[in-house]
């Protein structure tokens, strides 16, 4: 039975039993704690936890799942995939254990004609959680399973959670016995390769907290209702129903193996286990990579990007180890698309992008491997030359550290070169490096978070932020810090640690209207002034940073008077500054929304910065934006500005916000209650703590400047907003007007006019070069005629007019030498080049060389006179100096030199 049929039968079975079919969620559901979706239930978590009301009591899905903790098992066991499809049925407070067992059992054992999978009931086993007598009873009743085919297992095997806080519960798993050729008797307890798990029924009834492993976490309490979450491994069912040995040989994965087998010199299933593992790694990882890229991940050095990079590199390396010596990523991706496309149409529609990203990583990694291979060859050669047979640990380490060579690749290449590798030395260096990295990280952490001086204030409580409602606030000084040290008072002109002016003076206030830099918005500027007896105290606020996320440290310059701890002061944000800042930040949301409208949801935010009048926005994207895309983004953003959308901000729960589709940053830890900024309803909805305009029209014009790359797979757009946008446009308009007036054409004819001028200029330059060379040739011909003779050698030593290139000079020298015939002759030409450079060339014919004259000696004489250097061969040499003033002296020096020899 083909995989597509297995999926279809599953969904049909459960739809018939009253379940709503729900499509697979993306593998990167927006949960910062979960790298990838690893089970069908992930998209339903809020329903299980009772945070949201499920729109249906029963659901069924086939979910794309990624599990990479077992990546090293791939290809070695018969059943581990990094990507797999989990078919599931879910009950939200509806049926429970009995319903789940009945529904699973009937699908598995109903005959194929009857819409089932037709498994032999005699070969099925079940496991239950230790004390789950109820489940045992149901298995006996419903399925007629004898007690000897039901095993009790502990928490690690039969108590399911996502591995992070969330819903959990005891489970019951169904296993299929593949027969004694796969291992010993004794049920799943004894051997999980012979008894292969095909379906897990979770009786989801509790909520778990933090923990350290599968069987060590706290149970926080019962869920509001008893639920069912089941997961059937589609690949494993396919493996069994297709009668193949392992999950890599099923109809959707095998084509990749066949493709590689047609390319690689060593085949699949030819008795070499290590080779077979490599084939399976390629097949498994290619699929996973295509799916992950499809859902918007690009290769990178951390998080999901790193997982993807690792998968792609493992593919490339495995192919190399199989002897494939050319790029194959494009063919792999095409094969995955053809096999998986019918179930995952996005692999077809997005193929161009998926393929481009995978191939780009292959190209980059191959380049690295190529430079590493060169290093390897050198190291292998010198090892052999010294009579040794062991490649040093430090060579292996450099290959790993600098070139990304996994040690097994080095081992393999060494073996091919007849060498072994000092693996122990290699491991020692790796351990040393890890130790250093750890120490570095610890040191960095200390440097950055030396908060001990602030501790007392941090403990005393947070600064209250008043800046959403007012720009001027009366506040009390809780503490004063000069260069990180707490002081009771700071006054104008007071010296700091490092000299006359303190590097950093900070005021900690109990309340403040100042926005502290965060979420890409830079801090407000303004003033702090004293009151009462300290009324003369005045400081400019240059920056505001949060300490331990709760205390606002105002970095100030004291302009007059003094500030004393405990004083009451007035903190006032510069209203113009704030107005600009709100334009910048709201403008960022507009550009973000416009970008996603134009580029699609894969343009995921990677960072941003905004300040009055200006913003920049970084996002994940491969390749440059076209001019059309840039313009479209600008148009969409400006249309939304003109629409004069009201800007609403409100607080809500994180789940509610996500349910509304609010955009959040991956990897960011958000509190349970979050602030949402909404501009134009669905147009822009983001989790954001920044300050914003009240109406989008206040942002003013948005001008998207260029777009650029900031590292692999990340692009940046920059834009001006408000008056700065207008000023930018006005400046461009003035520039254009200036051009139009000097070119004496209307402004819309400027481009054509400039193009025409450039063409004419090029033609004129070409003509000029031609004339110059012709003139030089004529001059050279004259020179040949008037050659002087020094000591029986004919000499042409001449200054050429400016503008001649070194290349032309060389060809002229050849011309003149030719004209001088076969008697001993020397030609030395020196030109006044552009920008003060002085190129020179010397040619010496054979007869003169026979007399001991050498061009490479003579250029040195020239060079010495014009602050230059030169070199070449006995017949022709050239060089270049600086300063045309030395030319006459240079020519005289050459005559003198010839007179001497
Ligand atoms: N969540 C369970 C699992 O992943 C059943 O779907 O095994």
pLDDT digits (tens, 9 = 90+) for 144-188: 999 999 999 999 899 999 888 889 999 999 999 999 998 899 999
Q: What is the pLDDT of residues 367-411, one digit of tens each?
A: 878 878 888 988 999 888 888 899 999 999 888 877 777 787 788
pLDDT of 27 reads 92
pLDDT over 90 at 51, yes or no: no
Of 450-459, 573-582, 602-611, the least confident? 450-459
Do β-strands 464-465 and 526-530 pair in parallel, antiparallel, or remain unpaired?
unpaired
pLDDT given at position 712: 63
Nearest CA to ligand 1 atom 6: 231
* Atom number, ligand 1, closest to the C-alpha of residue 162: 1
Please, are residues 315 and 285 in contact by the beta-carbon 8 Å criterion? yes
Q: Is the CB of 229 under 6 A from ligand 1?
A: yes
Structure tokens at 891: 């020519």
Atom nearest to 201 CA in ligand 1: 5
Closest CA to 677 of 664, 669, 638, 613: 664
The annotation status of 492 as a binding-site residue, yes or no, is: no
pLDDT at 897 over 60: yes
Ligand 1 proximity of 580 Cβ (cutoff 6 Å): no
> Which among 5, 673, 602 has a CA at the least distance from the CA of 304?
602
> Is 65 annotated for ligand binding?
no
Q: Is the CB of 233 under 6 A from ligand 1?
A: no
- Distance (Å) of CA 828 to CA 595, 851, 865: 63, 17, 14
Rounded to the nearest whole angstrom, what is the distance from the C-alpha of residue 795 to the centroid of ligand 1? Answer: 93
Mean pLDDT of the chain: 90
Q: How far is the CA of 86 from the centre of ligand 1 (A)?
A: 8
pLDDT at 668 over 70: no
What is the model's pLDDT at position 385? Answer: 86
Name the residue of 84, 86, 236 whose CB sits within 8 Å of the most ligand 1 atoms, as the mutation to test its pocket: 86
Better-scored residue on pLDDT, 371 or 852: 852
For the CA atoms of 549, 550, 553, 554, what is the dihedral angle to 10 degrees?
100
Q: 200: Cβ below 6 Å to ligand 1?
A: yes
pLDDT band of 282, cuts 50, 70, 90 = very high
User: Is 4 assigned to a binding site?
Assistant: no
How is residue 315 written in tokens?
């593919």
- Alpha carbon distance, N-terminus to C-terminus of the chain: 95
State pLDDT tens for residues 182-232: 889 999 999 988 999 999 999 999 999 888 888 888 888 899 899 999 999
Contact 865, 884 (CB under 8 A): no
The CA distance from 191 to 184, in Å, is 7
Q: Which of these ranges, 46-55, 402-411, 544-553, 615-624, has the smallest mean pLDDT?
A: 402-411
Q: Does 80 belong to an annotated binding site? A: no
This prediction's pTM? 0.53
Long-range contacts of 605-610 (CB under 8 A, 24+ apart): 605/663, 605/665, 606/714, 607/520, 608/520, 609/520, 609/522, 610/520, 610/521, 610/522, 610/581, 610/584, 610/585
């Amino acid at each position: 039975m083909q995989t597509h049929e297995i999926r279809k039968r599953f969904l049909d079975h459960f739809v018939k039993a009253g379940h709503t079919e729900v499509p697979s969620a993306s593998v990167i559901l927006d949960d910062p704690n979960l790298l990838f979706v690893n089970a069908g239930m992930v998209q339903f978590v809020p329903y299980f936890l009772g945070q949201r009301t499920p729109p249906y009591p029963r659901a069924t899905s086939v979910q794309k799942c990624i599990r990479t903790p077992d990546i090293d098992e791939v290809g070695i066991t018969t059943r581990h995939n990094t990507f797999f499809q989990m078919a599931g049925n879910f009950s939200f407070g509806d049926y429970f254990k009995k319903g789940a067992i009945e529904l699973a059992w009937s699908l598995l054992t109903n005959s194929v004609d009857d819409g089932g999978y037709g498994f032999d009931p005699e070969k099925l086993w079940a496991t239950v959680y230790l004390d789950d007598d109820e489940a045992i009873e149901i298995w006996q009743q419903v399925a007629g399973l004898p007690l000897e085919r039901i095993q009790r297992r502990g928490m690690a095997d039969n108590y399911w959670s996502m591995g992070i806080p969330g819903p959990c519960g005891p489970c019951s798993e169904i296993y299929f016995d593949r027969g004694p050729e796969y291992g010993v008797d004794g049920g799943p307890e004894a051997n999980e390769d012979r008894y292969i798990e095909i379906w897990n029924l979770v009786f989801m009834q509790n909520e778990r907290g933090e923990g350290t492993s599968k069987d060590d976490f706290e149970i926080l309490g019962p869920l509001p209702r008893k639920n069912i979450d089941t997961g059937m491994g589609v690949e494993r069912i396919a493996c069994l129903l297709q009668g193949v040995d392992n999950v890599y040989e099923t109809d959707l994965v095998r084509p990749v193996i066949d493709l590689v087998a047609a390319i690689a010199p060593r085949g699949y299933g030819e008795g070499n286990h290590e080779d077979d593992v490599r084939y399976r790694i390629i097949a498994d990882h290619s699929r996973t990579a295509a799916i992950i890229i499809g859902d918007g991940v690009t290769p990178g050095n951390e998080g999901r990007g790193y997982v993807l990079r690792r998968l792609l590199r493992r593919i490339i390396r495995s192919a190399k180890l199989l002897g494939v010596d050319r790029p194959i990523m494009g063919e792999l991706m095409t094969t995955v698309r053809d096999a998986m496309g019918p179930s995952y149409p996005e692999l077809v529609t997005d193929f161009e992008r998926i393929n481009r990203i995978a191939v780009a990583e292959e190209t980059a990694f191959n380049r690295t491997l190529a430079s590493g291979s060169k290093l390897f060859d050198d190291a292998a050669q010198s090892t052999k030359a010294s009579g040794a047979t062991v490649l040093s640990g430090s060579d292996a380490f450099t290959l790993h550290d600098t070139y990304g060579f996994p040690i097994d690749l080095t081992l393999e290449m060494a073996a091919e070169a007849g060498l072994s590798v000092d693996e122990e030395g290699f491991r020692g260096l790796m351990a040393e490096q890890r130790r250093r990295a750890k120490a570095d990280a610890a040191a960095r952490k200390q440097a950055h978070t030396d908060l001990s001086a602030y501790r007392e204030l941090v403990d005393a409580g947070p600064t209250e932020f008043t800046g959403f409602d007012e720009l001027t606030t009366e506040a009390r000084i809780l503490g004063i810090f000069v260069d990180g040290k707490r002081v009771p008072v700071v006054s104008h002109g007071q010296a700091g640690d490092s000299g006359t002016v303190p590097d950093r003076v900070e005021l900690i206030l109990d309340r403040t209207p100042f926005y502290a830099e965060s979420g890409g918005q830079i801090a407000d500027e303004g003033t702090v002034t004293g009151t009462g007896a300290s009324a003369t105290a005045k400081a400019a606020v240059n920056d505001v940073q949060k300490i331990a996320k709760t205390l606002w440290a105002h970095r100030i310059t004291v302009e007059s008077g003094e500030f004393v701890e405990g004083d009451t002061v007035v903190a006032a944000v510069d209203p113009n500054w704030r107005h600009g800042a709100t334009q910048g930040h709201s403008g960022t949301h507009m550009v973000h929304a416009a970008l996603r409208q134009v580029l699609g949801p894969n343009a995921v935010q990677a960072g941003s910065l905004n300040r009055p009048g200006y913003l920049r926005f970084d996002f994940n994207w491969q390749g440059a934006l076209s001019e059309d895309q840039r313009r479209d983004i600008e148009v969409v953003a400006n249309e939304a500005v003109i629409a004069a959308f009201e800007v609403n901000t409100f607080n809500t729960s994180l789940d509610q916000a996500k349910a509304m589709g609010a955009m959040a940053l991956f990897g960011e830890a958000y509190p349970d209650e979050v602030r949402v900024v909404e501009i134009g309803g669905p147009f822009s909805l983001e989790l954001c703590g920044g300050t914003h305009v009240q109406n989008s029209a206040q942002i003013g014009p948005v001008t998207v400047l260029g777009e650029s790359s900031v590292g692999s797979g990340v692009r940046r757009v920059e834009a001006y907003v408000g008056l700065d946008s207008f000023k930018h446009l006005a400046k461009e308009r003035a520039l254009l007007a200036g051009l139009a007036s000097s070119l004496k054409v209307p402004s819309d004819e400027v481009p054509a006019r400039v193009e025409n001028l450039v063409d004419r200029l090029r033609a004129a330059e070409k003509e000029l070069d031609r004339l110059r060379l012709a003139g030089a040739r004529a001059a050279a011909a004259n020179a040949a005629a008037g050659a002087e003779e020094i000591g029986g050698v004919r000499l042409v030593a001449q200054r050429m007019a400016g503008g001649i290139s070194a290349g032309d000079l060389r060809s002229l020298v050849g011309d003149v030498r030719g004209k001088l015939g076969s008697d001993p002759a020397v030609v030395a030409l020196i030109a006044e080049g552009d920008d003060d450079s002085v190129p020179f060339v010397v040619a010496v014919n054979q007869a003169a060389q026979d007399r001991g004259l050498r061009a490479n000696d003579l250029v040195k004489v020239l060079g010495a006179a014009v602050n230059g250097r030169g070199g070449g061969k006995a017949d022709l040499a050239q060089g270049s100096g600086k300063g045309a003033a030395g030319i006459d002296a240079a020519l005289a020096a050459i005559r003198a030199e010839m007179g001497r020899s």
